[in-house]
Amino acid sequence: MVAIETGDSRLMFAPEVGGAVAAFTVAGRDVLRPMAAGSSDALLTASFPLVPFCNRIPNGRFQFQGREVVLPPNLGDHPHALHGQGWRRPWSLERAKGCEAVLTLDHAPGDWPWAYRAEQRFELREGGFRVTLSVTNAGEAVMPAGLGFHPYFPTRPGERLTAAHDGVWLIDADVLPTVHHAGSWGPDWAAGAPVAGHDLIDHCYTGWTQRAVLSAPGQPDTVVSASTECAWLHVYVPPGEDHYCVEPCASRPNPFGAGETGMAALQPGESRSIWMEIATGR
């Protein structure tokens, strides 16, 4: 693993595991859930990039500009293609010096029939970091592109999440969006709600204001903020586990479904980028 540091803030990377962050600590405290020792699965890391789409494509099948594409499953026997290719590929560490690190991924056409180059650029600061994720169409045809972040946070005693929103996509048994529900549903994150004590939360929230606050009694708040392109906030809370996810995304689940999904159409050579910041006190 490779690390960058400034003051008492330390950011570690596992580029070979989906271009993931392995740990982020401030004064020795885990702000992100640390990567499991010896793991080779991005799902067990501290954070990983979502590129070139977020969440699930039903049965991996979609059409784009008259072209039919079928993606294989990439999460065990789960039938729906998930989170793009970036999290299942090793990335290259281009630089890790001072307070900056750059990771890159070059994708050759395959099941996803478009070539692209993805880049993560990290800037570490006292008590926080910013990561900018970008994707560039490296092929000769128009390419669809969506981006997002998948950070894991340790669930602290009394943990609460506060994040303004105006609605939520309800899900079916396959965790696919079905109906958009206006207003709050289940835990009211807009008012601030406990993280623990619910059935599975694996939902995409709309009308997010690009700022979420994670708080726990007697401990510093963690603030997650993102660029305005990240119009969706995905919250994943697995019951009985010691972690949860607050995911800024520039596209929503079922990204090739009906309505506005946030997917962009990149011309050859065109890029798209988003950023996320995670900051905390001591």
Per-residue model confidence (pLDDT) at position 55: 96
First to last CA, the chain: 25
> CB under 8 Å to 149, separation ≥6 — which residues?
47, 49, 50, 131, 133, 226, 230, 247, 248, 249, 274, 276
Per-residue model confidence (pLDDT) at position 1: 83
What are the tens digits of pLDDT across the range 32-90?
Answer: 999 988 899 999 999 999 999 999 999 999 999 999 999 999 999 899 999 999 999 99
Per-residue model confidence (pLDDT) at position 281: 84
| Three-class SS of the chain | CEEEEECCEEEEEECCCCCEEEEEEECCEECCCCCCCCCCCHHHCCEEEEECCCCEEHHHEEEECCEEEECCCCECCECCEECECHHHCCCEEEEEECCEEEEEEEECCCCCCCCEEEEEEEEEECCEEEEEEEEEECCCCCEEECCEEEEEEECCCCCEEEECCCEEEEECCCCCEEEEEECCCCCCCCCCEECCCCCCEEEEEECCCCEEEEEECCEEEEEEEECCCCCEEEEEECCCCCEEEEEEECCCCCCCCCCCCCCEEECCCCEEEEEEEEEECC
Q: Are 261 and 254 in contact (CB under 8 A)?
A: yes
Per-residue model confidence (pLDDT) at position 94: 97
Per-residue model confidence (pLDDT) at position 236: 98
Output the six-digit token pair for 85.
Answer: 């290719």
Segments in the chain below pLDDT 50? none
Q: Is the dihedral of CA 111, 252, 189, 185 positive or negative?
A: negative
Per-residue model confidence (pLDDT) at position 282: 73
Output the six-digit token pair for 148.
Answer: 């997002």
2-280 CATH: 2.70.98.10
Per-residue model confidence (pLDDT) at position 14: 97
Per-residue model confidence (pLDDT) at position 99: 97
Per-residue model confidence (pLDDT) at position 119: 98
